[in-house]
A and B are shown apart, each in its own frame.
Chain A
């Protein structure tokens, strides 16, 4: 792998950019790997990366049905924050956020992490109490957040309308080191680093079956033939249920569509991320100038990566009240992704009933922000059989009643 640097850019400029090499190899699968990860999205690639980096396990294949980073990694609204209420959530999301801080240097790939600050608006009395509680919880967890007044909100976001008729802004939970990153670059950066370690990233290769012997995983069947492995990691978001079924167990998940949209590009007008959970809308401005908007999920099971139009209408209508200036904006694109939701809206990072098979899924509507922490914890779990980061997110928490209830704590935009 050739190192990316200012010097490399200058060198290539002098020779008409003929020296750049492909960022990752696209090999044919080998007969056997120590570890196979299914799913080359952010979480899968991060898992592979930290397996190699932290545990020296480099005989790894990452298998992807479509193309690298083409699922929810390329479909989210790129928000990074860790202001969660529950301790296990705060731990894994803050680990992820802190890894994002120097991920560009670590991967030698510019992921454009922009810690511009994330603001969660309180627009009802309940939210004021909820967010003040979260701010106190975060103080105990060592996550730096604070409760800010409407005046400070207006200072940070001049385009906001504080005294909307239905949903006035009464304050906000502010995380200064939250922000955004370039979502595709996160997948690409991890892929390049994995490939450089000798790992195989196999795209356009669908897993059609999981092979086991005596309750232990021995490999997978794919559209490119059977591949053997010692350990298998299932990191496929929306299709977790299908893969689990192949492996012979069930997951407490349901797949639904979550949509996002972007406006035409405009001049810089808002340099923080604003989330308004009462009205189901969140917005930030991308480096290209587009307003990136997300909203609530559809209410029904769906695998189509398309959502219902009226949800977009509801989201935009709500945001127009809080940001009157966007009422004249044209929207450019809209898309959907399939998110796998658990009952308590927290992820599952766990061993499974099939020995040697591990699951990382159920991130629901909030997976992007967790990518480095999730990969870090999942790699530790797969390599050593135990990880303090993932312990609380095990599959048996539902049976044992140990919920990590973020559905109440986080509201909808999660």
Chain B
């Protein structure tokens, strides 16, 4: 069972308390953007086999949105962090590098 630590209320929340919200750190494109950018924003996801940054909501808890870094290949959790950021904080990146040497964050958008 997936367990994530909610960075707001510090509860170790198990999966039934959480709602998955898809990929994190998407760049949003609106009415004035190109068709290409809008298409990618709506439909294209990184979908990596490995390190993945995700949005989660502590739905049956404090109700707040947060982010998690997780491996989609091993289900390992590298850490969670508050949602008010446009990219993962350094300590999360370090935690990932410690377990996946040479890893780098891909930025598609």
Contact = CB atoms under 8 A, between A and B. Distances in A.
B20 A300 contact: yes
Contact of A303 (B19, B20, B42, B49): B49
Interface string A290-327: 00000000111111101011100000000000000000
Contact of A308 (B2, B43, B47): B2
Contacts of A250: 44, 108
A114 interface: no
A41 interface: no
A382 to B, nearest CB: 24
A184 B43 CA distance: 33
Contact of B47 (A254, A298, A399): A254
A399 B39 contact: yes
Contacts of A301: 23, 47-48, 52, 54, 72
A241 B73 CA distance: 14
Interface string B1-23: 11000000000000110011011
Given A250-B44, A398-B43, A310 B20 contact: no
B1 A310 contact: yes
B49 A252 contact: no
A231 interface: no
A93 to B, nearest CB: 23
Contacts of A308: 1-2, 15
A242 B20 contact: no
B74 interface: yes
A179 B49 CA distance: 34
B27 interface: no
B43 A302 contact: no
A301 B49 CA distance: 9
A327 B35 CA distance: 52
B45 interface: yes
B75 interface: yes
A239 interface: yes
Nearest to A313: B16
19 contacts: A239-B49, A241-B47, A252-B45, A253-B45, A253-B47, A254-B45, A255-B49, A300-B54, A301-B47, A301-B48, A301-B54, A301-B72, A303-B49, A304-B72, A304-B74, A306-B75, A398-B39, A398-B43, A399-B39
Interface of A: 239, 241-242, 250-255, 298-304, 306, 308-310, 342-343, 398-399
